[in-house]
Structure 1
Amino acid sequence: MPQIILGPSQTKKIDGSVKKAGYAFLEKLAADDAVPGLHIEPINGSADPRVRTGRVNDFYRAVLFKVQGQGDEAHYVYLGILPHDDAIAFAKTARLKVNPVNGIAELVKASEPVAAQPAAEAAPEGGHGAGGAAPQPPVHETEPAAEAWSLLETRGVDKEALLDLGIDAALADRAMEATSDDSLIAAVEAAPQWQALALIDLAGGKPVEDVRADLGIDRVELSGDEETDEELLAALQHDAAKLQFAFIEDDEELRKAIEDDDFAAWRVFLHPEQRRYATGGYNGAFRLSGGAGTGKTVVLLHRARLLAKRDPGARILLTTFNKVLADSLRTDLRRLDSSVPIASRLGEPGIYIAGVDSAVHSVIQMAGSEVGAAITEVLGSRSPSIGGRTPASNWLDAAATVPDLPEELRSTTFFQAEYSMVVLPERITTRDEYLRVRRPGRGVALDRRKRQLVWQVVEAYRARASVEGSIDYGELAAVAAAYLEKAGCGVVDHVLVDEGQDLEPAKWQFLRALVPEGPDDLFIAEDSHQRIYGQRVVLGRYGIRIVGRARRLTLNYRTTAENLRYAMAVLAGGEYLDMEGEEEDSALYRSARSGPEPELVPTDSLGDGLSEVAGRVQRWLDDGVAPETIGLLVRDARRAQELVQGLEEHDVPVRVVDAHRDVRPGRPLVMTMHRAKGMEFSRVVLFDVSHDTVPAAYAVDKLTEGDRADALLRERSLLYVAASRARDELVVVWRGQPSELLP
């Protein structure tokens, strides 16, 4: 049977009926390419004798390359569906070739010279080399020549180094002339994908040898002036070529590739660096960090799929901070591969997908009557009953029972942080233990007297919970961890964690106890810039040793360079530490896309802001923007309700998304910035980012100095999360004075 290879799509927007016809065409082709009705025909006068077109219907043609090789069955590289005349015109000029410097398959325009030369045999200045890239849009000079500095030269990169990687000589010239990130992105816009990403990484400061290693670039020797079919097939399998070419494994994957507009965005094509992390083997826990939109979750999903396929009996937990994000992981895993076995219970073969709290609950149920001993170990002498969850408001009630407690310590935030960061992970059950314990990472100094008063509050909190038979989520995780440690047997074989930066210590202890230490035990995706819950955590304190097994993704695939630059500027002034206690450098992050600058809209009042948003959303809808790709984000539920009511008064119906209501198509979506975590939209409005709204007073007021600093850091991270949801357009609206956190 012929092998279908998905290539860089040339398809413009087409309706569903054409997509279905396209899938039917490829399904028949994959079964038998000799069927007469397919009309697989060469093109007279084409630059590449391998190019073909096939009949999808009376008006549309599929564009393909036929690569026979030595086997009986042909390989067909599918490039998309175009109207008949457009398909013929494109097929005449397109060429599928092997880069002679590094052996990477590339789709090039035959109107360009195609002979690439190594650095030692560089083409004359202005000539073209390996990439044979399509004509590029002009780079508009925005600075006087005397003040313009080559971006790549400032990074210590010269043209010879680019040619030695296999970069097209003409593209190398344009890249060396670029004086900013924006002009570089414009220069690489139509280049082969691997070349574009290599240049963006180099401009971001990544060393040439690291780029070479990330893309798997080695020098090659072709057998002659023209590559053979066998050499081309090998080139299509190169890790860097897989950024644009994917061997389709089955009919379901083929159908999704045709019918799902964004299937190719991440479900098929992975950067070689992402692929390496998704498929690699590790001698213990591994941590993958990266900014918003860099593909951490994508890697996690591919890795879960690979582990399940590699060992059908493997027990895999795919988990994250809460149920909403877990549901999103489940949906995306199904879209990636609907054949992957999904386990219905923790500890069964397959992939069990759940929030951490749900996994904790499963272990508590497994423990049965043995949970009592674990409760005593963690909480001391108390009722073994663990019915409902203790409300956070109980902390203030407990504090009220200690009249001498200093006023600055009378906050739920302080006690939740002290309890989760010190008391629970250390399993403190007596006052003397608390007086002796170290409190690393806590920004609130406590002398002996203050510790005694704080412990009185803890005792009052625990006593009331014992009487009521309640337990909070952190306590439950600590109890489950204690039970698992005593049981001494792993419940699962692999744990994969998304959004790890938001988990508290007891939950890390639980996850560590859930899987035996060993190869590929824990795989953690995190971004300290997106920590919007809880306190800073250092994994090594909770038995999770990462040393030497941590990597970072820096290339953003979602957000335009302009939107990313604005979102990263929100973080300025804050200190961000990763989960090993090392400082994060936000300057490393780069985008592979460009677009309009974020639009900043000051208004005089709430009413003016609502009118502004209503008009903008209506214009987007009138322009044909899909309603559900418009995200309207606010700080809290109260602002969400104001926005919904205001837009409805302007005859712009919207839909609220919260913990109880999911995303559905048909209307623009209103949600809090917290709820938007893990989502993306083509267009985003950040509404009412005003001085008295962000940061939220209730989140930062009446806190001790140390806790307030960390709360402000979380508020910055929340605004960063919200701004980085925008793929294409970002609009920021405020009334009166803007938030102090805006750039």
Structure 2
Amino acid sequence: MSKSEHARRRLETQARQLIESTFTGLDSLHRNVLTGLLSRTGAGWRLLVKTALPSDDGRSADAFLIGRTGVLALLITDKGPDGETANQILRQAKERFAGIPGPQGRSLAESAIHLVVIGSGAGGPRQDGVYWSLTESSLDRIFRRDALHLDGRLVARIAEQAERRLHGYRPLAVRQPDRAPEAAGLLDAGELIEDQLGAAQRRPFDSWLTFLHPQQNAIVKRDYSGPARISGPAGTGKTVVALHRLRHLARLSTGPLLYTTYVRSLPPVIKTSFDRLAPELDGRAEFTNLHAWVRRFLTEREVRVNVDRAQIENAFSFAWIAHRDRLQSIEPNVDYWRTELDRVIKGRGITTLDGYLAITRRGRILPLNASQKELVWGLYEHYQRSLTKNGAHDHYDLIELGRAELVRQPLETPYAAVVVDEVQDIPLCGLRLLRELAGDGPNKLLLVGDGQQQVYPGGWRLSDAGIPIQGRGEILKVNYRNRAEVLTFARRFDATNRVDDLDGADGVALRAAESASAGGTTATWRGGSRDLPDALVGAVRGLPVRRDHSALIVFQHKDLDRCLAILRAAGIPTLALDKYTGETDGKLKVGTVHRAKGLDFEAVLVLENTQENGAGTQAEEERRELRGRQHLVAATRARDFLWWGVLDEPTTE
């Protein structure tokens, strides 16, 4: 028997003896579960057990467990409680722990308290979102290392407050024999290494799983009479609030939940975080990007869709060849006109020339008069004819087909709540679909975003999509993600905002955000393509944190290919951001700023290519503004360390 196993057995023996001497008449289920929980107090967990056990009162928790995975109210029974009883137990637990102070002026969030029902038979997570169902044999799921997010200091702070608040409960603990009290929690050298590894793999600042700022906590619990919006600068916890609110709403309803966004790389990472926050909701909440949801929906409805990238590119190429001579005299860059079709015409669902002539092209600096718009409309019609001729659709057609199908036949089982993150990048046609999907009912639709972090061209207001949010808008202003030095660096970027606060009012820029985290480190490099390999590899190898907690972000695909080749030659393993799920894998995450949206890392390396910068026309000014917002997004992905590299000489391809 290993030393670690021997120590564990001795703790279990201590725990069983203490339970048997403290309580008489316990059934085997209570005795075994409490013994298993109590033995963990030798590793730093804190346990408070109801004084009167056994008890006929099944309407309050039998015990409370506090540790690195958070706060758990425990009910030990083979008969799961009904919804009313479960909610009453959870409500009492929330009341008793309300307001316990945490780091950075935050307090323990009601939505962070877990209700766990432990029985002897087979059991799985309930689908009503109120409690997590476990068995004697699955107790270890409570202590899983991938869910650690609190350190010993915060555990002790919560436990000390709880002991004063929980009348009718007594603290019970055991400690490793022959070890001084201050060393309790580390069973032997082997367990010390394991514990340190677990701590190293934790993402810093993950105390958000338990603690929220009072303003954030109020938003989580607020009752909205219709669609609501959360905005605020980067790092202010918008997604954190959205996830806590999703869990809160799940406890008040029984229907499915949806989290969606425009970026396909974000939902898998958010799902990993949400599974840690709300393990009892396993399978009830869906995390997917907007286009993936529409594709699945149309497939289920047997609506034919043919989104083929090659056919889309060919259709536009033929249209451009036919119309470029007239359009290049207005703006020579073909990408500008592609964006006009995508984001202004199709993204807004415009299908007639009169409709195009009538709109204000929000987010576009280059003015177009009526005759110029007619030229653009010719390009659009040629493009659409080519798609139709080949039976093809682009991504905007996909969204419109989805909306039309929803109007024809709404979902048989509607979503209890829909959360839309990074909403500033969703096209207007997508917003209209989401409104149709969620409806205008109370607490049904939550829109989360920040106009300064818009990484795609164009702009709109929520009112353009017919989404009323008057009186239901929230603005967060305290940055919890970026340490002070990183935040100072990010504030230098002139990220002009074309989406305002998402409905036309003045928003809060990153420069006005309050900083909650001191420290941080930044470094810069500037040089030519010949020097880039040594600089980039040196920066990666010199990272002050684990490589798999870090990311490299670029702004153009050609620079992504260049950097990947350099890292591959140096033997540095990488993972594309669009394949990242938030799990630890030993690889540096790599991708464009579009794939980094909504994510954050302990350390970030950014490569800017000065070839991207232009000057002169109003269209170029629009591109510079867009790049400024993209630079801000890239910089604010870093929590502790930011390396900013500038490639400032022409490259030969």
Task: Output the TM-score relative to the length of structure 1.
Answer: 0.61
Deviation track 1:44-70 (CA, whole Å, cap 9, x = no partner) reads xxxxxxxxxx9869xx76375969899
Please say which of residues 302-311 and 720-729 is displaced more in the overlay: 302-311
Q: Look up the match of 2:591.
A: 671
Aligned to 1:330: 271
User: Are positions 1:536 and 2:459 aligned together?
Assistant: yes
Picking from 276, 295, 301, the partner of 2:237 is 295
Give the match for residue 158 of structure 2: none
Give distance in 1, aligned partners of 2:367 and 2:632: 29
Distance 1:531 1:274 in 2: 23
Which stretch has the larger CA shift, 720-729 or 580-589?
580-589
**C-alpha contact (below 8 Å) 1:318/1:351 kept by paired residues:** yes
Deviations 1:204-260 (A, max 9, x none): xxxxxxxxxxxxxxxxxxxxxxxxxxxxxxxxxxxx641699755335455434867
Counterpart Cα distance in 2 of 1:415 and 1:556: 37
Counterpart residue number, 1:558: 481
The aligned runs of 1:338-487 (5 Å cut-off) are 338-342=279-283, 350-368=284-302, 386=306, 388=308, 390-392=311-313, 394-402=315-323, 403-409=325-331, 411-424=333-346, 427-437=349-359, 439-487=361-409
**Contact 2:112–2:244 under 8 Å retained in 1:** no
Give yes or no for contact 1:396–1:410 (8 Å, CA) kept in 2: no
Contact 2:348 2:427 in 1 (8 A): no
Q: Which amino acid aligns with 1:500?
A: V
Q: Which residue of 2 aligns with 1:729?
A: 641
With over 3 angstroms needed to count, the CA separation of the structure-2 counterparts of 1:465 and 1:576, relative to structure 1, is closer
Moved more, 662-671 or 675-684: 662-671
1: CA distance, partners of 2:592 / 2:348: 34
Letter in 2 for 1:450: Q
C-alpha contact (below 8 Å) 1:644/1:654 kept by paired residues: no
Secondary structure, counterpart of 2:115 in structure 1: coil
- Write the distance in 2 (CA, Å) between the matches of 1:397 and 1:19: 71
2:513 maps to which residue?
Answer: 589
CA distance in 2, matches of 1:418, 1:499: 21
Instruction: Tell me what 1:242 maps to.
Output: 108
Equivalent residues in 2 for 1:646-665 (5 A)? Answer: 646-649=566-569, 651=570, 653-659=572-578, 665=585
1:75 CA drift (Å) = 6.5
1:62 is aligned with what amino acid?
G
User: How far is the alpha carbon of 1:479 from its aligned partner?
Assistant: 2.8
Distance, in Å, in 1 between the alignment partners of 2:610 and 2:347 is 37
Relative to structure 1, is the Cα distance of residues 488 and 562 closer, same or farther in structure 2, using a 3 angstrom cutoff? same
Q: Which of these residues, 430, 435, 440, is aligned with residue 517 of structure 1?
A: 440
Root-mean-square deviation (CA), in Å?
Answer: 4.2
1:549 is displaced (CA, Å) by 0.6
- Alpha carbons 1:294, 1:553 under 8 Å: kept: yes
SS state of the match for residue 19, structure 2? coil
1:249 aligned counterpart, secondary structure:
strand
2:629 to 702, 712, 717: 717
Residue identity matched to 1:267 = L
Distance 1:728 1:480, change over 3 A: same
Alignment partner, residue 275 of structure 1: 217
Structure-2 separation of matches of 1:671 and 1:598:
20
Rounded to whole Å, the distance in 2 between the matches of 1:569 and 1:661 is 29
Matches within 5 A, 1:694-705: 696=612, 705=618
301 and 19 in structure 1: CA distance in 2 versus 1, 3 angstrom threshold: farther
2:496–2:629 CA contact under 8 A, matched in 1: no
Alpha-carbon deviations, 1:522-558, whole Å to 9, x = none? 1011011211124222010111011111111222222
Residue pair 1:648, 1:654 contacting (<8 A) in 2 also: yes
Tell me how far apart the structure 2 counterparts of residues 630 and 574 of structure 1 sit (CA, whole Å). 28
Tell me the distance in 1 between the aligned counterparts of 2:270 and 2:603: 22
CA deviation vs aligned residue, 1:375-415 (integer Å, no higher than 9, x gap): xxxxxxxxxx7463552463343132134345334644433
SS state of the match for residue 401, structure 1?
helix
| CA deviation after TM superposition for structure 1 residue 727, in Å | 1.5
- Unaligned runs of 5+ residues in structure 2 are 23-37, 56-60, 70-95, 117-138, 151-197
1:344-374 alpha-carbon deviations (Å, 9 max, x no partner): xxxxxx32322111222234335546x8xxx
1:583–1:79 Cα change, 3 Å: same
Alpha-carbon distance between aligned partners in 2 of 1:678 and 1:664, rounded to the nearest angstrom:
18
1:62 to 31, 34, 44: 44
State the 1:452 CA deviation.
2.1
Name the CA distance, whole Å, in 1 between partners of 2:546 and 2:349: 51
Cα distance change on mapping 1:360 and 1:266 into 2, 3 Å: same
| AA aligned opposite 1:544 | I
Aligned to 1:638: 558
Local SS of the residue matching 1:281? coil
Give 1:598's match in structure 2, choosing from 499, 519, 522.
522
Would the alpha carbon gap of residues 392 and 552 (structure 1) be closer, same or farther in structure 2, given more than 3 Å must change?
A: farther
Paired letter, 1:316: L
| CA displacement 1:27-84 (0-9 Å, x = unmatched) | 997x9963679xxxxxxxxxxxxxxxx9869xx7637596989998897685779xxx
Task: Tell me the TM-score normalised to structure 2 length.
Answer: 0.69
Question: Equivalent residue of 2:585, what SS?
Answer: coil
1:614–1:647 Cα contact (<8 Å) kept? yes
Contact 1:104/1:241 (8 A) holds in 2 = no
Which is worse superposed, 490-499 or 542-551?
A: 490-499
The answer on whether the counterparts of 2:235 and 2:479 sit within 8 Å (CA) in structure 1 is yes
Query: In the superposition, relative to structure 1, how do residues 659 and 458 fare at CA in structure 2: closer, same or farther (>3 Å)?
Result: same
Counterpart in the other structure of 1:626? 546
Match in the other structure for 2:91: none
Indicate the percent of aligned positions where both proteins have the same amino acid.
24
Contact residue 268 and residue 580 of structure 2 kept, 8 A: no
Q: 1:736 to 1:75 in 2, by over 3 A?
A: same
Correspondence list, 1:601-616, <5 A: 601-602=525-526, 604-616=527-539
- Would you say the 8 A contact 1:360–1:510 is kept in 2? no
Q: Is the CA contact 1:287–1:550 (under 8 Å) kept in the aligned structure 2?
A: yes
| Structure with greater contact order relative to length (CA < 8 Å, sep ≥ 6) | 2
Change (3 A) 1:32 1:441: farther
Rounded Cα–Cα distance in structure 2 between residues aligned with 1:488 and 1:569 = 47
| Contact 1:293/1:557, CA 8 A, preserved across alignment | yes
Unaligned runs of 5+ in 1: 1-16, 38-53, 82-102, 108-191, 198-239, 343-349, 372-384, 739-743
Question: Which of 258, 265, 270 matches 2:207?
Answer: 265
Kept after mapping to 2: 8 A contact 1:420/1:474: yes
Letter of the aligned partner of 1:242 in structure 2?
L
Letter in 1 for 2:483: T
2:294 corresponds to which letter in structure 1?
A: V
Deviation at 1:466, TM superposition (A): 0.7
Of 708, 719, 738, the match for 2:620: 708
Q: Say yes or no: does 1:499 pair with 2:422.
A: yes
Measured at CA, do residues 66 and 339 of structure 1 come closer, stay the same or move farther in structure 2, by a change above 3 Å?
closer
Q: 2:19 aligns with which of 28, 34, 38?
A: 34
- Residue identity matched to 2:518: S
